[in-house]
Amino acid sequence: EVQLVESGGGLVQPGGSLRLSCAASGFIFSNYWMTWVRQAPGKGLEWVANIKQDGSERYYVDSVKGRFTISRDNAKNSLFLELNSLRAEDMAVYYCARVPDAPDAPRTDFWGQGILVTVSS
Amino acid sequence: QTVVTQEPSLTVSPGGTVTLTCASSTGAVTSGYYANWFQQKPGQAPRALIYYTNYRHSWTPARFSGSLLGGKAVLTLSGVQPEDEAEYYCLLYYGGAQGVFGGGTKLTVL
C-alpha cells in the first residue's frame, strides 16, 4: 500500500524557516518523481515544486524560487521541502505526492494527508 | 504567468449529468498537457480521479470520465451521487513535469 506521511509543519514567524519531510512507503521511492503541492486556508491547490528521481532536476513555481528548496534522500525514502524567508502568503497545508511517468507523461496519483504551516508573528 | 480556469461552482441533481471544464490561458488544451482531475472533500487530501485526459485510476468509479472538447479538458460525471459533492481540480502540465492547477469547481448535489 502506497503511503506518504508529511511532518515538520508548525508555527513560524515571518522571515523564518522550516523543513518539511515526507516519508514514503509501499513503493520503490527512487523510481519516481515527487512533488509538493500546497493549499492556503479556504483556497485552491497550488503546485509548488517537483524533483527528479535522482534529484538532478528540480522545478519551482515562480513565487517560491530562491526561497524554497526541494530535495530527497532515496536511501531513507524521504522527500523534503526547505522553506526559507517565509511570508504570510506561504501559510498553507503542504502535501507531498507521487508523480509517475514524469517528465514525458506526468500524472499525480498518491497524496499524503498534508501538513499545516502557519506563518504568523 | 499561466492561468488555468475552471467554473467556480456548479449544481447538479442526483442522478443527473454535469460537465466541468478546464481551460488554459496559453490556448487550446491538448493531450500534451496530460490533464489530471482530482476530487477533494472538506478536511481531506485530494484524491486522483483522471489522468492523461481520459484515463481512470483503478479506484475511480466509471461514472467519472474525461475528454477534450472545444479546446478544454472536460470532466463529466454521469449519474451523479450525493457523495460526489466536493471540490474538483484540474491539473495541466507545461513541460518538465511543471504543473498548474485550476482554481477548482465546487460541485453541489441538490
Nearest alpha-carbon partner for A29 in A60, A51, A62, A7: A51
Contact A110 B100 (CB under 8 A): no
Q: Which residue of A has its CA nearest to B88?
A: A44
Interchain contact A99–B (C-beta under 8 A)? yes
Strands B99-101 and B47-51: unpaired
CB atoms within 10 A of CB A25: 11
State whether residue B97 sits within 8 Å of chain A by CB: yes
Q: Contact B101/A112, CB-based, under 8 Å?
A: no
Under 8 Å between Cβ of A30 and B88: no
pLDDT digits (tens), chain B, 110 positions:
899 999 999 999 999 999 999 999 999 999 999 999 999 999 999 999 999 999 999 999 999 999 999 999 999 999 999 999 999 999 999 876 789 999 999 999 99
The candidate with the shortest Cα–Cα distance to A117, out of A22, A41, A23, is A41
The pLDDT tens digits for A73-99 are 999 999 999 999 999 999 999 999 999
